[in-house]
Structure 1
Amino acid sequence: MLCYFITFISFLMITFNASCATPPINEMKDSTINIRCKTSKGIMSGTGFIVGQGRHAITNYHVVMQAPRNEIVTLIDIDNIIPVRIIWKSTTKDIAILELERNSGRKPVHFAMSSTVSDGESVYALGFPVAADAVIVSYSFSDVTITKGIISRTLVSDQGYKYYQIDAAINPGNSGGPLFNQYGDVIGINTLKSLVNAVVIQPDQNGNPIETVVRVTKGEGIGFAIQSDEILDQLDNTGIDYHVSDNTSYLFYEIFSFDILFIIIAAIAIIIAGISLYIAVNQSRRKSFTNTVSRFGETIGFTISKKNARQQYFDEHQKEATLVQRKGVLLGISGEFMESEFQLSKDPVILGRDPTQANIIFSKNAHYISRKHVRLYYTSHTNEFLLEDLNSSTGTFLFSGKKLTSGEIAKLRHGEKFYLYSKEQTFQVIEK
């Protein structure tokens, strides 16, 4: 049971940590859009991301600065091209806010303040790294590229604007794209790559070598992104809604990082193992004690049972002997059957004048006795005599003087007396 519990908790821990560590790539892609501008030099391509309620986007100003009015579009899909216009720009920050002609239907980004960002933190740069004069052939959601890197350091420009130096790959076409942290929140806008002028020798149209000055990369793994804090004030000024993630969400992820979760789960497992061991040991001791007591009890119980069986056998036989020895007897005390003795058995005895119905028969002249006057039983198992009046005309009486009603049964014990009509006809019941 403990193993199952630890396995289950470990699975939850790994799943939770994986969900925390893996950024929401699909949501990040859904917020990233391709910006295209028609200029005198051809098609300029860049990247932007959706803010507000889906009607606004942010990009670098240098992506759209050369485009004539109404010559800027965003590609939501190959069949969904939306014209856009610039509603705010900053040449020093190299940021532009765009308004789409209609809602993009894309998910707006969430921002994270620079106070939540640390050097060495993982970041993700999304964009469309194509040549600036590339011709649009096809476009799909999957064309968004993702490069991963870390924040190398934080820089401040001559104008006082803050940038992140990152080592995530940034190429032409990535400009204006979002820089996400590992939780899927935008922390910066990919702005530029470190470039220098270089002289290269290239053939001209006639094949003759000529010297040409071009911009080439100054070192590898060096790119820059302006911090997202630099745009939030302007979003407020233009009345565009945006969402900033709470710092407590990052604190939650940090508290429940894999290492800390592992320590917590290990501690819980050790505690549960200790409790289980304690319970198992006590159950074993209790079971051993119970078995000892049970065996002792069985031994004593067997002895007592044998003794009880012998005692019960003796009592039953003694009772049978007693019952056999005891017999019910009816004695005549006065009257016609004075000093007479009648044995009583399990069958009832009837006293009366009718010889066809009575067992103890009175003389015909005894008119005070009914033809069938009274019935007497003797029950050997209860040692009781049962006396029942049979609707006699003169009555049956207990020696106390109580008259029995017809059909009433009176219980008599050894030595008790009753009489018929008067005490001149008295009888007594005894056991012998």
Structure 2
Amino acid sequence: MASPMATPRYCIQHSRFTTQDGWRQRDLSLSWNGNIAVTGRNVNTHRTYIDVYTNVTRFDSSDKPKLIYSKEFEKYEDERKYKARIVSFIDDNALVSCLGSKLEVFQVNKDEVLRSRRVNGDASCLSVRERREIFIGFWKSNKITVYDVIDLNEIKLIILQGIEDDCFPYDMTAIADRIFVSVGEAKEGSERKSLIVEEKNGRILSELTKPTDTVQWYVGSVGVNINTLGIAGAVWRDSYYSKNARHREIVFYSLLSENNCSFLIAEVESGVYRIRISDRGDMMITGDWETGEVKVYDMAEIFTYGHFKEKLAVTLQTDECAKLANFFKIPKDQTDDILSSEKPSENLLLTLEEKGILQPYNDDRLIEAFEELNTNPFCRNIADIFQKTRRHQHISKVSQNNWMKK
């Protein structure tokens, strides 16, 4: 069952969406230091735009994101509806953008195009990996082309294995040796999948599961953080047409668990189309294609202590509860009462809280127990994910309190 999404820390919206008709948001990118790039187009005038905002490095700061770069571009060369401007940061001051077949590298602080070239097709999505390589997917093609960031030379061609040629990527994140990609056909009712692909040969490693099997779900976007949290987040909607979607949900997956198990589902607004998770693992942004809003979230407020306990309670089996009770030397009569209760896992976690073993900002001893007992690895993974995000929040609060005492 989906939980309500946390309240965003900030909401960014350019004035063009409230003063002019026809604007639609298209793409988002998030730099290492939290800068945000947004692109879109006007369906009436066919102009496109790039906006860049600086973000705060700590959520306890009074600073708010500021617009540091904004540029609108003239009508594109033809009016094919799939021409849309896409974007990805190279670093805080440089970004790569593609409109149709025109690929450009921008220097934001100088408002300058550093280099450009034509690519073989109309780009549907792109991703920059480790500031060195640009991965581009194309409309109505199962191929991904990789370019060098420095000179924009083509490096390699990746064919998505098992994907028909008329299917193509809608969104993509290239990280480490994997490509996280949303693919589907450009026709009504066609299924859209969220796949993890091996970069070396285009082989599908696994598929991210849908929220439920009760309705036909369509994936729109995937945000990934491997190095810090080991998670992915995917935006799903219940209609092929974005404007007709009644329900949208973001599903979070543990990439370190078998079959990339989901561990949290959150409801979001009807227009949410894009999601990005910061490399540091402390921030997530979503984009709304209709309103142009970008919402900035603190990951610790999405992955709460309450969510953590709730997920553990439904994941832990009775035999695992017995092993944990023995590990933490809970008296036998108390253990028997826990195991014979209607909700043994919930009662065990409550007991661990009362003994100070499980705390809002520290579950080291529980993680240690999972490792030593070789318990369900999924429990170990989600404990690690939630602890990292909660510790970030705890450190921020301590920093804020120390600053206020000065």
How would you bin the TM-score normalised by the shorter chain?
under 0.3
| Bigger helix fraction | 1
Bigger radius of gyration, 1 or 2?
Answer: 1
TM-score scaled to structure 2, two decimals? 0.20
